[in-house]
A and B are shown apart, each in its own frame.
Chain A
Amino acid sequence: MIADPRRALVLGAREALGVPAAVLGAGFLGYGSLAADAGYPVYLTLLATFAIWALPGQLVLMEMQAAGAALAATLIAVSLSAARFLPMTLTLMPLMRRGNNARRLWQFLLVAQLVSMTTWAVAIRRFEDADLQDLEARWRYFIGFSAVCIGSAALCAVIGQLLIGALPPLARFGLALLTPLYFFVTLVGEARSKASVTALVCGAGVALALHEVAPGWSLLGAGLIGGSAAFLLQRTHARRG
């Protein structure tokens, strides 16, 4: 139990310092080495990491710039890849905000920038636990956790950029798989409610089915079609049982 919400900041930071920071770091180590290939100076790698803070979007931006795409096309592609943040923030924020009068709207708008796949997946799971039922404790936990994640990502991106070419193929294959592997175990291994398990299965199924037909729409389709299907399945099941 946390009696004192002030300690939640440290708790969050401590829980990030370990596998989450290491996995994020590994992903950004790879990003840094790609940035070196693309000719980014270090400050642009850092700018992208802090300003976008979403590895898929950062990679899309880099690929499209290397291909010489127009700014408008790049913006649309990055924006589409970030659409997942809407339902993610929409579900995370009420857990810290509803009834929390100590924090203002602009503070939530700032903290929203910290939402990423890792911070969202861990926070939404941890907020179910008994020690994080206090809204202020959740708020501080989220900030502490996210700060360590971003710090580790930025540090590793710089290391990856400066160490370009130094990694053996064995390590590069391992690094490439580590991030998806971590998300897979976090989501599948930690899914507790029937609704979230159903949504995971439906989302994955729809994304894979749509990938062949309409690759550009497979993620949006996975969310809207797969998510709605899971929601309806869960509702009819709950009503019957």
Chain B
Amino acid sequence: MPGAADIALAIAACGLATWLWRGLGVLLSGRLDPNSAMFEWVSCVAYALVAGLIARIIVFPSGLLAQTALADRLLACLAALLAYHLARRNMFAGMVCGLAVFIGAAYVRGLIA
């Protein structure tokens, strides 16, 4: 285990590395017209990247979620989306229903005692 000063240095370096992407986005955005085809392409890339990240977390999770069943995770997503729309775009209702279905399913499978 490295010391606190080493960890702090690594955190600062990683913070800078992360910010560089954000800063680069700002610098390049000055030349980008929101009505151009280029903008449309970049926003497709952004949406696809984020969708890829979420799909990977849900289908191939690591850590605690890896112990749960894929069917339960997908069922929870479906329930959350359905409840969200039925409750007229109410995010709270979506989250509560999704989690209830997920925990219920895990309970039935005996994952949670």
Number of interface residues of A (CB under 8 A): 97
Cβ A219 vs Cβ B53 within 8 A:
yes
* Number of A-B residue pairs at CB separation under 8 A: 298
Cβ A176 vs Cβ B11 within 8 A:
no
* A residues neighboring B (CB under 8 Å): 18-19, 23, 39-41, 44, 47-48, 50-54, 56-57, 61, 65-66, 71, 74-75, 78-79, 82-95, 97-98, 105, 108-109, 112-113, 115, 117, 120-121, 169-170, 172-174, 176-178, 180-191, 195-196, 198-208, 211, 218-224, 226-228, 230-231, 234-235
Interfacial chain A residues near B80, Cβ < 8 Å: 181, 184-185
Interface residue? B59 (CB, 8 A): yes
Cβ B95 vs Cβ A181 within 8 A:
yes
Cβ A85 vs Cβ B22 within 8 A:
yes
A199 to chain B, nearest CB (A): 4
* Complex partner residue of B54 from A65, A91, A187, A190, CB under 8 angstroms: A187
Cβ B49 vs Cβ A87 within 8 A:
yes
- Dominant secondary structure at the B interface: helix
B12 to chain A, nearest CB (A): 6
CA distance A222 to B47 in the complex (A): 9
Cβ A199 vs Cβ B91 within 8 A:
no
* Complex partner residue of B14 from A61, A207, A220, CB under 8 angstroms: A61
CA distance A60 to B73 in the complex (A): 23
Closest 9 A-B residue pairs measured CB to CB?
A89-B25, A222-B52, A203-B48, A51-B15, A207-B52, A227-B45, A223-B49, A203-B51, A204-B55
Cβ A91 vs Cβ B102 within 8 A:
no
* Complex partner residue of A203 from B22, B26, B55, CB under 8 angstroms: B55
B65 to chain A, nearest CB (A): 5
- Dominant secondary structure at the A interface: helix
Cβ B52 vs Cβ A203 within 8 A:
yes
Most A C-beta atoms less than 10 A away, residue of B4, B54, B58, B59: B54
Cβ B84 vs Cβ A185 within 8 A:
yes
Cβ B11 vs Cβ A47 within 8 A:
yes
Interfacial chain A residues near B40, Cβ < 8 Å: 195, 231, 234
Interfacial chain B residues near A87, Cβ < 8 Å: 25, 42-43, 45-46, 49
Interfacial chain A residues near B91, Cβ < 8 Å: 18-19, 182, 185-186
A93 to chain B, nearest CB (A): 4
Cβ A208 vs Cβ B43 within 8 A:
no
Cβ A61 vs Cβ B10 within 8 A:
yes
Cβ A19 vs Cβ B14 within 8 A:
no
Known contacts A87-B46, A91-B43, A189-B89; A207/B111 CB under 8 A: no
